[in-house]
A and B are shown apart, each in its own frame.
Chain A
Amino acid sequence: MMEYALEIKGLRKEYKGFTLKDVSFALPRGTIMGLVGPNGAGKTTVIKLILNLIRRQAGEITVFGEDVIAREKAIKSRIGFVHETPSFVEDAKLRDIAAAVAPLYERWDGGLFRSLISEFGLPLGKKFKKLSHGMKMKFSLALALAHEADLLVLDEPTSGLDPVFRRELLERLSGLIQDEGKAVLFSTHITSDLETTADYITFLHAGEIVFSLPKDEIHETWAVVKAGPELLNGKLRPLFRAIRETPHYIEALTSDIRTLKAALPAGAVIEKASIEDIMVFMDEGAAHV
């Protein structure tokens, strides 16, 4: 059995004014990975490449050990995809959409679909266009889950959803990986979604991977330190990933708090870096290092 549900190596995609450069990461089976980064970082591009919706210039993508281009058909039946703004025939009823979609998958579980529909409170007789955004998302999720996908890929599934359904969705994702053979990749810019259930976090910035690490490791090695101007003396600088200056103190982001700790000036404050801290710092302050 292949160890990874998804493995990406040296991925490259060029657009006018944007290049996804040398993106590599791996998602082990039985785990959840959050793909984060500010808007325009390349999250959706990576997802489109995984789904083979656009062409890559270089690199390799395998899902359960099989190349996504060479084995496209077999792989697609194992991937469940939920788009940020689900789109189906607007005038079709949910029942008819499901009936049209089901035969496309090898492993459609009608019983599971019906139980998800009743659990989510979805009206099968209603037209797709009459649904709220949250309901559209639930419907799309029900379709993805019902074909028993082994790899669930979700593009910004929580944006525009209320906190109650966001929590419900996250619980469902962690429920899914009770089966060690399955895995979840979801992109988001709502970083609080990741602080709970995600096992791995892959952080994209301007088309490049900043890190792809177990969440616990990030929390143990990345930190924000605050101190006076002495923080910027020469020997500490190499340990900073980003720096922000305020009139009263300097704050800096480090990815090596263990080494930095011993060398900090007296009175310096160390704080855990949340994913949001890292995202904001990298965006604003990276240029100053």
Chain B
Amino acid sequence: MKVIISNSSPDPIYEQITRQVKAQIISGDLAEGQVLPSIRRLAHDLQISVITTKRAYDELEKEGFINTVGGKGTYVAVQNPELLREKKMKIVEEKLAQAVDEAKLMGIGEDQIIHMLQLLFQEDE
């Protein structure tokens, strides 16, 4: 598991952790069933509060990314392929929404955006 904390980021630290862990689970860098460091271990490693790491883990557990087995540790949860696809779709959607917001700010229209996307797709082929 790789987590990089930025103290100058406006995002709360627990959010920085959840975002990075989610990305690694979705990309498969963290495999199903893999053991994650304990809350205390991670807090110590990152030199942050235990409460912050606990909150990050709680959030990840609530969203179904990880499981905590009492007394045994925390594991990457078994991911339902459909759910995983949906989660990935959501990420794409969020990024597109960001792009659309930026475009609106600059007065770039729908047609232009679609054209840009087509060009980007073609580049990859």
Instruction: Determine if B40 and A215 form an interchain contact, defined as CB atoms under 8 angstroms apart.
Output: no
Instruction: Determine if A220 and B12 form an interchain contact, defined as CB atoms under 8 angstroms apart.
Output: yes
A136 to B120, CA, bound (A): 64
Residues in chain B near residue A171, CB distance under 8 A: 44, 47
- B50 is contacted by which of A31, A195, A196, A219 (Cβ under 8 Å)? A31
- A196 is contacted by which of B14, B48, B51, B55 (Cβ under 8 Å)? B48
Residues in chain B near residue A30, CB distance under 8 A: 40, 50
Instruction: Determine if A174 and B51 form an interchain contact, defined as CB atoms under 8 angstroms apart.
Output: no
Instruction: Determine if B43 and A195 form an interchain contact, defined as CB atoms under 8 angstroms apart.
Output: no
Interface flags for B1-39 (1: CB within 8 Å of A; 0: not) read 000000100101110000000000000000000000000
A215 to B47, CA, bound (A): 14
Instruction: Determine if A196 and B10 form an interchain contact, defined as CB atoms under 8 angstroms apart.
Output: no
- Report which residue of B13, B40, B55 has the largest number of chain A beta carbons within 10 angstroms of its beta carbon: B40
Given contacts A30-B40, A178-B40, A195 and B47 within 8 Å (CB-CB):
no
Instruction: Determine if A198 and B49 form an interchain contact, defined as CB atoms under 8 angstroms apart.
Output: yes
Least CB distance from A33 to B in Å reads 11
Interface flags for A115-133 (1: CB within 8 Å of B; 0: not) read 0000000000000000000
Measuring CB to CB, which residues of chain B are less than 8 angstroms from any residue of chain A?
7, 10, 12-14, 40-41, 43-44, 47-52, 55
12 extra A-B contacts, CB within 8 A, seeds A196-B48, A216-B49, A216-B55: A30-B50, A171-B47, A174-B43, A174-B44, A175-B44, A195-B7, A199-B50, A199-B51, A214-B49, A215-B51, A216-B52, A219-B12
Nearest 10 pairs of A and B residues by beta carbon: A199-B49, A199-B51, A174-B44, A196-B47, A178-B40, A214-B51, A199-B50, A216-B52, A215-B49, A197-B47
